[in-house]
Amino acid sequence: MSDALKTSGMTRLRNYFLTGFIVCAPLAITVYIAWSLIGWVDSWVKPYIPARYNPDTYLPFPVPGFGLIVALVLITLIGFLTANIVGRAIVNFGERLLGRMPLVRGIYGSLKQIFETVLSNKGDMFRQVGLVEYPRKGVWSLVFVANDKETEINQKLDQEGDPLIAVFMPCTPNPTTGFLMYVHKSEIVPLDMSIEDGAKLIVSAGMVAPEVKAKLVTLNGEHLEGPLANPPLGAQPARSSRTASSRPNR
């Protein structure tokens, strides 16, 4: 066997291995994370399930996910009970009780506000992806633009005509940690990529970059916006002077 055939065979095997790795690695990591989450919830919930209702008591092997199912049912049931008058009264009583505890009330109040904000505005957590010149001039960091609501920080540091905007700069490869910064609006370079594409870019450390969307422009250089069609939607067909003049009068 010649050296060329050996090299070709090794190259082909390497390509097969890399292709299989690309297919199997994300699947294996996803299964591992899901399995770890199920095991973590089971370890918390199963000890509180009575033995006669726990299938692990009657089977020679543990049933994975049973604790997770019980937790989901209980959370849904609590939400259903809280929706009526009696449930709200019980919750309000519990919150007033926690509000009298010096250390607990701060933790509970902060966590409740965070969860209410995230779950009630899950589609508007971040409005846009942008770039900020950080940590020095000439170096740019990816940020998620949070909001531009009026706060005490805006009032203290606001410059006329250039409002401060809250941005979150995530860390790579874990986007759940990062820095909250207030940056002047003029210092933020907005990007067209979605929040999901920005998160992928951060998790992959820049290896998975979103495709650049080509912008359509008109002959005078203006960007096209709105629905595209040929002719544009809503436009009436133009009548030429020749056609109008050749049409007989009735």
Measured on CA atoms in the order 128, 134, 139, 141, is the torsion positive or negative? negative
Report the candidate in 162, 205, 203 with the shortest Cα–Cα distance to residue 182. Answer: 162
Q: Are 185 and 165 in contact (CB under 8 A)?
A: yes
Q: Distance between CA 88 and CA 157 in Å, rounded?
A: 41
Residue with tokens 């609501």: 149
- 158 or 86, greater pLDDT: 86
**pLDDT > 60? residue 142:** yes
Q: Give the burial class of 220: count Cβ atoms within 10 A of its Cβ; 0-12 exposed, 13-18 middle, 19 or more buried.
A: exposed
Q: How confident is the model at residue 231 (pLDDT cuts 50, 70, 90)?
A: very low
**What's the pLDDT score for residue 121?**
56
User: What is the distance, to the nearest Å, from the Cα of residue 219 to the centroid of all Cα atoms in its chain?
Assistant: 37
- Entry pTM: 0.54
pLDDT per residue over 192-216, tens digit each? 888 888 888 888 888 877 777 655 5
Distances (CA, A) of 97 to 32, 36, 82, 105, 208: 40, 35, 17, 9, 49
Q: Quote the pLDDT of residue 228.
A: 44
Mean pLDDT lowest among 3-17, 49-63, 71-85, 187-201: 3-17
Q: Which residue has the higher pLDDT, 238 or 186?
A: 186
pLDDT at 143: 92
Query: b or e along 186-216 (b: 16 or more beta carbons within 10 Å of the residue's beta carbon)?
Result: eebeebebeeebbbbbbeeeeeeeeeeeeee
Report helix, strand or coil for 178: strand
For β-strands 140-147 and 164-170, DSSP reports them as antiparallel
In order of 113, 150, 154, 234, 238, the CA distances from 244 in angstroms are: 67, 58, 61, 22, 10
Residues ≥6 apart with Cβ < 8 Å to 217:
223, 224
**Residue 131: predicted pLDDT:** 92
